[in-house]
Each structure stands twice: as structure tokens, then as C-alpha cells.
């Protein structure tokens, strides 16, 4: 009977609540503890001489996990590094998981610090060239939805004396890669050494980087830095947010944002602005983070949130930004449609121009009572019952939840038509757990896009026991970059040997139109 095997999970969840008295067995249901969500994974790079010379562009000397230095940081000195203020500020929100890598950057591999496991990567003043493989990895990471935060410094800032400084290295990334070398982001780094300036922000109350949850950005600081030249003819989404005194338009931009594929890019013209003045012993550092002439904390943190997907898109007229907005609206609309029609594997199609609006996933609410056309490793994952009730209808997909080492998968292959303006993949997810940690992701659920050969093209999101909460939450993603392709959408739940975590999926949809 469907769900019998799943019921064994209750032993792991409630075993501690069973009390046996004289002739009486009492069972007390203990609700799983909801933890602060750690939804946004951010990787800081230290694999390209970011600590050469006086540079100290790290959030902590504890790598890869800064929590090993101090698990509950409250001030910048709790972590050691000139970017510790940045890291601590993100950590204190409870919404970010931070890591540092000294390894070569990769994308789509099984490495724990592979870019596919992160929403954004910060590369502050790289001082060695990216390898060809790293450039391919970075470009594909952004193209498939990742956020890339680049920080340059002035020309001549070759801290390890290898013949390359950060302006040259960043320009090389954009002009000498295997994915798109034709000015993919719509800007280039100027070969300048601006000794001192206070760049001012443009006026735009709708921009999430200038007006985000971490505050309003008014200005920044240059202490031997550079600027960017914008080329909107190459990428219409490129946008200067702060400008060197006396400059505007396409020249003299000090902080710039752009998009590429499904992802986002930001670049800052001086590492001094993010430097908090503290770091490893013997380093001579400048405290731009606390410089009252600028609002650098708000700029760094708002930009991180935007790149990681924790805030809205910039107000540009770019096709990518417009498609993302349409996808989000379509995903929202699909949720209510799914609630009433989740039993039907085929949705109504409507012709819109050259694109036929439709919902592409079969058995989207699992209401047939079996998996097909989904492919599962365990048929009992399609569940009907009160232990993990469906959001709508009678059935859901229940992955993991055993409290033993388990990997459950749920996947469906789908062909995305060309010519649509939005490709919105959405699903509702409920997570409960018996884990008690508030800092370690012991059990995880990855949501990925794979090609026909099984190669991971993108990790859309990774959830964990840290995201446990009551009820279902809808998540949605644009698959516009895969238009015209046949891809597999795959959920992979991985549980360790103790303390169950259940990942319950319902009301999926892939709306195109």
C-alpha cells in the first residue's frame, strides 16, 4: 500500500516521545523545531592570491567554514580578515551560509565547494589569472543563474609580482573565455589609478542595490582605485550605480551591475571600500568599511543580497530582467491553478504569438497516486497520509525522513519550446526535521537542471534541515536559458545517519508563455 514504507519514518521522529506505563502506552507528538532559514549560499574566493602582500580579502582565516573560528560572531574581530565585517554582517542575519575556497573554481562537479552549490561568489581583487577551466566555470555559473561579485583595484596593483593585476585579470575573464568573449557583461575595467574620490550614487529609488534591506546607498570611497566603461550596445542591462566625481553615463562608473543569461554581475572599482581595516597580523590595511564619507556596508550587503537572489532585480530594460519578472508572475499564477487542477498531468494550452502558453510537467501534483512520468528511486516517495499531508489534493512527494543514511530522488525530463517570453519552474516545499543544530546543514535537498547525458547544468537551490518550518513555501526559478532544449528537473534529498529531515514537494509547475 502506498505510504507504508514512509510510515516507518515516524519511528525516527517520535521514538523519543513514546512512554510506556503499566498497561498503557502513550504517544506524544512533538512538532519539529523550525530554524532560521539559511537559504542563500555565498562563496568567497581565496584561490587567486587575495591575501598576497598587504591584501587580506578574506572573511576569516578559518577555511572553508568561518564558523570554525567563531560559530556566533557578533563583531568584526570575531573573525580574522579584512572582509570580516562583511561576513559577520551576513552571518548575523541568519539567512546566509558562507564559505571560503582556496581551490580552483569549478562548476557542475561533485566538489563540495563547486559553484553549483552557491547562489553567489565574491572575488575581491584577484591577483592571479583564472585558468581556462575556471573562466568557463564562472561564465556558466552566471549564465545559469549565479551571482558574480567582482572587486577590482587600480592598475599596477600586482601584489604578487606575477605580471598581472586585478583590472587585467577581470578584463581577461570577459574577453578570453570559451562561453562568450564578446563583452558578455557590457563593461570593461579602466586601467586607471585614481588616488582619492567620493563617488556618488545615482538617483533610483527602485534599485535594490541602492535601496535594499541593509540600507540606502549614497556614496562610496576611492583610495587608489579604478572605474568601469559601460557598453550598453553590447549588453543593454549594464547599469552604473555610483560614479566618479564629474562623470556619468557610460564613463567613470565606480559600481556597475549587469546580467548575463539567467544570472547577475556586480563590480566595484576599489578593494579599499570593502576593507574593514582589520586582518591578519602585519597587514597594512585601510578602513573603508567604516569610512563615514561612504555608505559601503549597505552597498556591499545589498549587492550580495541582490546577486544571491535575496532581493529584487534592478530596474533595467534588459530582456533577461523582463523575462525574470514575467517568470515570477507566471509561477505565482500557476500556484492557484495547480491547487485546483493538480490531479491532471496535462494543463490547458493557450497560443500567444509564436509561443503556446502551457504547463509542461506531467502529474504535477502527484494525484495519479504513482510517480510516472516522474522517475523516483523509491516508489513509496509518492505519499498519501496524515504524517506529511499534501498541500492540495491527496498526494505529495516525500523524500527522506528516515533518520538513517538515505538518498531519495525525484526527476522528470521535459522539452522547453523556443520563442516564449517566460519559462517559470515552481514548486511548493515543506521541510521538517529532528535535527537541533542552528548552524550545520546535515541533510540537504538539491534542485538541479541536468542535460540528456545526466550532466548537471545548474543547481537552482539547495535546502537543508536549517530551512525547516511549518507549512509549505513556494519557490520559483526561470529556465529561460534552456529554451529549445530537453532537460531533466531533479530533486535529490540526502540524509545523514541520525535525526530525520523530511523534504516534501507538492504542486509543481513549469509554465511557459
* CA nearest to 275, candidates 431, 65, 438, 81: 81
What is the model's pLDDT at position 352? 37
Average pLDDT over residues 57-85: 95
Q: Is the pLDDT reported for residue 39 higher than 90? A: no
What is the model's pLDDT at position 235? 95
Q: How many CA atoms lie within 13 A of 56 on its CB side?
A: 24
pLDDT band at 135; cut points 50, 70, 90: very high
Q: Give the C-alpha distances (Å, rounded to integers) separating 8 from 254, 306, 366, 500.
A: 58, 42, 21, 11
pLDDT band at 451; cut points 50, 70, 90: very high
Give the DSSP H or E segment for 306: helix 296-308
Contact call for residues 474 and 427 (beta carbons, < 8 A): yes
pLDDT digits (tens, 9 = 90+) for 279-319: 777 776 778 899 999 999 999 999 999 999 987 433 332 32
pLDDT digits (tens, 9 = 90+) for 406-425: 999 999 999 999 889 889 99
Q: How many CA atoms lie within 13 A of 186 on its CB side?
A: 23
CA distance 150 to 157: 15
What is the model's pLDDT at position 19? 33
What is the model's pLDDT at position 2? 36
What is the model's pLDDT at position 228? 98
CA distance 274 to 221: 9
pTM tops 0.85: no
Average pLDDT over residues 131-135: 97
CA 287 from centroid of its chain's CA atoms:
29
pLDDT band at 37; cut points 50, 70, 90: very low
Question: Regarding predicted confidence, which is higher, 54 or 180?
Answer: 180
What is the model's pLDDT at position 120? 97
Kindly state the percentage of the chain with pLDDT values over 90.
Answer: 73
CA distance 481 to 486: 12
Range in 299-308, 344-353, 367-376 the model is least confident about: 344-353
pLDDT digits (tens, 9 = 90+) for 165-213: 999 999 999 999 999 999 999 999 999 999 999 999 999 999 999 999 9
3-class state of residue 115 by DSSP: helix
Kindly state the percentage of the chain with pLDDT values over 70.
Answer: 84
3-class state of residue 217 by DSSP: coil
* Average pLDDT value over all residues in the chain: 85
Q: Is the pLDDT reported for residue 249 higher than 90? A: yes
What is the model's pLDDT at position 279? 74
pLDDT band at 5; cut points 50, 70, 90: very low
Question: Regarding predicted confidence, which is higher, 497 or 255?
Answer: 255
Segments of 46-180 assigned E as strands: 96-101, 120-124, 147-151
Contacts of 146 (CB under 8 A, 6+ apart): 115, 118, 119, 120, 121, 263
What is the model's pLDDT at position 354? 58
Question: Regarding predicted confidence, which is higher, 256 or 336?
Answer: 256
Task: Please give, one letter per residue, the 3-state secondary structure of 35-55.
Answer: CCCCCEEEEEECCCCCCCCCC
CA 350 from centroid of its chain's CA atoms:
32
CA 259 from centroid of its chain's CA atoms:
14
pLDDT digits (tens, 9 = 90+) for 137-168: 999 999 999 999 999 999 999 989 999 999 99
Amino acid at each position: 500500500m502506498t505510504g507504508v514504507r514512509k510510515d516507518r519514518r515516524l519511528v525516527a521522529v517520535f521514538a523519543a516521545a513514546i512512554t510506556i506505563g503499566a498497561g498503557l502506552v502513550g504517544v506524544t507528538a512533538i512538532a519539529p523545531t523550525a530554524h532560521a532559514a539559511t537559504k542563500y549560499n555565498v562563496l568567497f574566493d581565496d584561490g587567486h592570491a587575495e591575501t598576497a602582500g598587504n591584501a587580506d580579502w578574506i572573511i576569516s582565516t578559518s577555511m572553508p567554514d568561518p564558523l570554525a573560528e567563531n560559530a556566533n560572531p557578533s563583531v568584526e574581530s570575531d573573525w580574522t580578515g579584512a572582509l570580516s565585517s562583511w561576513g559577520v554582517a551576513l552571518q548575523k542575519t541568519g539567512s546566509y551560509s558562507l564559505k571560503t575556497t582556496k581551490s580552483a573554481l569549478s562548476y557542475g562537479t561533485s566538489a563540495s565547494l563547486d559553484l553549483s552549490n552557491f547562489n553567489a561568489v565574491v572575488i575581491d581583487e584577484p591577483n592571479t589569472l583564472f585558468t581556462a577551466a575556471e573562466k568557463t566555470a564562472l561564465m556558466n555559473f552566471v549564465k545559469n543563474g549565479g551571482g558574480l561579485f567582482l572587486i577590482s583595484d587600480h592598475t599596477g596593483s600586482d601584489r604578487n609580482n606575477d605580471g598581472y593585476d586585478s583590472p587585467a585579470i577581470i578584463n581577461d575573464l570577459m574577453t578570453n573565455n570559451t562561453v562568450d568573449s564578446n563583452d558578455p557583461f557590457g563593461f570593461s575595467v579602466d586601467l586607471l589609478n585614481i588616488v582619492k574620490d567620493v563617488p556618488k550614487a545615482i538617483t533610483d529609488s527602485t534599485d535594490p542595490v541602492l535601496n535594499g534591506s541593509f540600507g540606502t546607498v549614497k556614496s562610496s570611497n576611492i583610495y587608489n582605485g579604478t572605474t568601469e566603461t559601460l557598453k550598453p550596445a553590447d549588453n543593454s542591462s549594464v547599469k552604473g550605480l555610483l560614479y566618479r566625481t564629474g562623470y556619468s553615463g557610460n564613463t567613470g562608473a565606480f559600481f556597475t551591475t549587469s546580467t548575463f543569461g539567467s544570472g547577475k554581475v556586480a563590480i566595484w572599482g576599489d578593494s579599499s571600500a570593502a576593507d574593514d581595516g582589520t586582518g591578519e597580523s602585519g597587514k597594512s590595511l585601510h578602513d573603508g568599511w567604516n569610512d563615514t564619507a561612504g555608505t559601503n556596508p549597505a552597498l556591499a550587503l545589498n549587492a550580495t543580497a541582490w546577486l544571491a537572489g535575496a532581493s529584487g532585480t534592478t530596474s533595467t530594460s534588459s530582456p533577461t530582467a523582463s523575462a525574470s519578472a514575467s517568470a515570477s508572475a507566471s509561477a505565482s499564477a500557476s500556484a492557484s491553478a495547480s491547487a485546483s487542477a493538480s490531479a491532471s498531468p496535462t494543463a490547458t494550452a493557450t497560443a500567444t504569438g509564436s509561443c503556446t502558453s502551457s504547463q509542461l510537467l506531467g502529474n504535477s501534483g502527484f494525484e495519479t497516486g504513482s510517480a510516472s512520468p516522474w522517475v523516483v528511486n523509491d516508489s513509496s516517495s509518492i505519499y498519501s497520509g496524515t504524517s506529511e499531508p499534501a498541500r492540495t489534493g491527496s498526494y505529495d512527494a516525500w523524500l527522506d525522513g528516515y533518520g538513517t543514511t538515505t538518498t531519495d530522488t525525484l526527476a522528470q525530463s521535459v522539452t522547453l519550446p523556443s520563442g516564449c517570453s517566460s519559462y517559470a519552474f515552481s514548486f511548493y516545499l515543506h521541510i521538517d526535521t529532528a535535527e537541533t543544530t542552528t548552524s550545520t546543514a546535515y541533510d540537504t535537498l538539491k534542485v538541479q537542471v541536468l542535460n540528456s547525458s545526466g550532466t548537471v547544468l545548474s543547481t537552482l537551490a539547495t535546502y537543508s534541515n536549517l530551512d525547516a518550518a511549518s507549512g509549505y513555501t513556494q519557490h520559483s526559478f526561470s529556465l529561460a536559458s534552456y529554451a529549445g532544449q530537453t532537460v531533466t528537473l531533479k530533486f535529490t534529498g540526502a540524509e545523514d545517519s541520525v535525526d530525520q529531515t523530511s523534504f516534501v514537494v507538492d504542486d509543481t509547475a513549469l509554465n511557459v508563455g
